């Protein structure tokens, strides 16, 4: 893909400075311009809030925003490893029910040219946070909240399959009352990176606010065919979520709930760590965002070169995308084309 020249970088720097007056120092402008240049030289998808307040699946291509869906309820696109497709989920109603979480969502798929938009499930359940397998099978993985059983299970479906043809990936024995299993990412060998919650330990943690209770959350690699699991050793006991495995499968990034409550996003910071698949260990964690609970940092994703992590943050007053450089340890605003809001980033061909 054609890269952007220095004159465009300067123009972007001036644009950023004009739109965000807090960016005043020349060194900051240069760093921000380089960050904007990087994301502008790659295609990536996100949910953009348009001028009417609608949430729409969007592809960023250089200096263009390409709206793929016309619906106002579309969330969290994830790019397939091959085939040029995006999986996402759609609320049944635009309004969040009861002022909180929307409990009736459909898993959807679309080609990145905007064609072939399909609902793969109905709205009977809270189906959400899809990703793709990395083993070449191009299956869509997603999580389903089961309110009657007070739990969550993992499902898989094919982008070309009939509607409601998803199959249960979670072992049937773990599909019962108070069983909580969540898929975060697929691996190239077909295993899935998942985590489980011990509800009784979690309840104890809520009874003792501010304390971190051991073993609330455990990390595992799951074989979707045999249901066999291998536990992954963790660097700490804080709950994490929105985890993404890097392209080389040697690192992960995630939201770390430093207040012990993964349901409260303002109590989370963005981090990355080394992933040792051979020894089933995650280690050497690095925090890349401050513990500032006046705003929310969320949904980190890897860049193709693994030198950057892009994530969403409300620190500017609206939700926008920020890029962190592992080399310079700098973080810069990069979603200068979407002033009304931009969230849930995902680079091209990069299943989370």
- Which band of pLDDT confidence, cut at 50, 70 and 90, is reported for residue 9? very low
Burial class (CB in 10 A: 0-12, 13-18, 19+), 62: middle
CA 217 – CA 235 distance, rounded (Å)? 12
For residue 27, name the pLDDT band (cuts at 50, 70, 90): low
Mean local confidence (pLDDT), 308-327: 96
What dihedral angle (degrees, nearest 10) is formed by the CA atoms of 149, 150, 154, 160? 70
Per-residue pLDDT reduced to its tens digit, 273-306 = 999 999 999 999 999 999 998 999 999 999 999 9
Residue % of the chain over a pLDDT of 70: 86
pLDDT above 90 covers what percent of the chain?
66
Would you give the DSSP letter of residue 143? E
pLDDT single digits (tens) 141-184: 999 988 777 789 999 999 999 999 999 999 998 887 778 899 99
Mean pLDDT of 27-51: 90
**Which range among 13-27, 32-46, 184-198, 266-280 shows the weakest confidence by mean pLDDT?**
13-27
Count the helix, strand and coil residues of the chain and give each as a percent rounded to the nearest 5: 15, 40, 45
Is 42-347 CATH 2.60.40.2550?
no
Residue 284's alpha-carbon distances to 196, 236, 275, 276, in angstroms, are 22, 10, 9, 11
Angle between helices 26-40 and 6-19 (to 10 degrees): 110
Calculate mean pLDDT across residues 249-256.
Answer: 97
Cα 174–Cα 186–Cα 183 angle in degrees, nearest 5: 35
- pLDDT confidence of 132, banded at 50, 70, 90? very high
By the 8 A CB rule, do 270 and 309 touch? yes
Whether residue 326 contacts residue 309, with contact meaning beta carbons closer than 8 Å, is answered with yes
Long-range pairs of 161-168 with CB within 8 A, sequence gap ≥ 24: 161/120, 163/118, 163/119, 163/120, 163/121, 163/122, 164/120, 164/121, 164/122, 165/120, 166/107, 166/120, 166/121, 166/142
Model confidence at 16, in pLDDT bands (50, 70, 90)?
very low
68 touches 352 (CB < 8 A): no
CATH 2.120.10.30 intervals, the chain: 42-347
């Amino acid at each position: 893909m054609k890269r952007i020249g220095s004159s465009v970088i300067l123009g972007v720097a001036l644009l950023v400075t004009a739109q965000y007056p807090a960016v005043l120092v020349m060194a900051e402008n240069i760093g921000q311009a380089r960050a904007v240049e990087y994301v502008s030289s790659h295609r990536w998808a996100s949910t953009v809030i348009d001028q009417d307040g609608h949430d729409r699946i969007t592809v960023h291509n250089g200096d263009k925003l390409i709206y793929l869906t016309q619906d106002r309820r579309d969330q969290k696109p994830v790019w397939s490893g091959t085939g040029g497709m995006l999986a996402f989920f759609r609320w049944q109603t635009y309004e969040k029910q009861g002022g909180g979480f929307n409990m009736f969502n459909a898993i959807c798929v679309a080609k990145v040219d905007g064609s072939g938009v399909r609902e793969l499930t109905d709205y009977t359940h809270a189906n959400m946070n899809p990703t793709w397998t990395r083993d070449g099978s191009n299956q869509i993985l997603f999580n389903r909240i089961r309110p009657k059983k007070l739990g969550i299970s993992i499902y898989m479906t094919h982008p070309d399959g009939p509607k409601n043809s998803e199959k249960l990936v979670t072992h049937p024995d773990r599909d019962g009352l108070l069983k909580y299993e969540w898929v975060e990412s697929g691996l190239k060998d077909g295993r899935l990176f998942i985590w489980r919650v011990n509800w009784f330990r979690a309840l104890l943690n809520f009874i003792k606010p501010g304390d971190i209770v051991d073993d609330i959350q455990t990390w595992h690699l799951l074989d979707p065919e045999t249901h066999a699991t291998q536990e992954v050793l963790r660097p700490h006991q804080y709950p994490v979520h929105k985890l993404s495995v890097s392209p080389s499968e040697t690192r992960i990034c995630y939201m770390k709930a430093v207040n012990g409550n993964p349901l409260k996003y303002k109590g989370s910071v963005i981090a990355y760590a080394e992933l040792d698949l051979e020894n089933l260990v995650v280690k050497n964690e690095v925090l890349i965002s401050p513990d500032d609970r006046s705003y929310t940092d969320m949904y980190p994703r890897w860049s193709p070169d693994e030198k950057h992590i892009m994530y969403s943050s409300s620190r500017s007053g609206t939700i926008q995308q920020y890029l962190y450089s592992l080399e310079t340890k700098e973080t810069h605003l990069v979603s200068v084309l979407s002033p009304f809001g931009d969230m849930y980033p995902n680079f091209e061909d990069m299943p989370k």
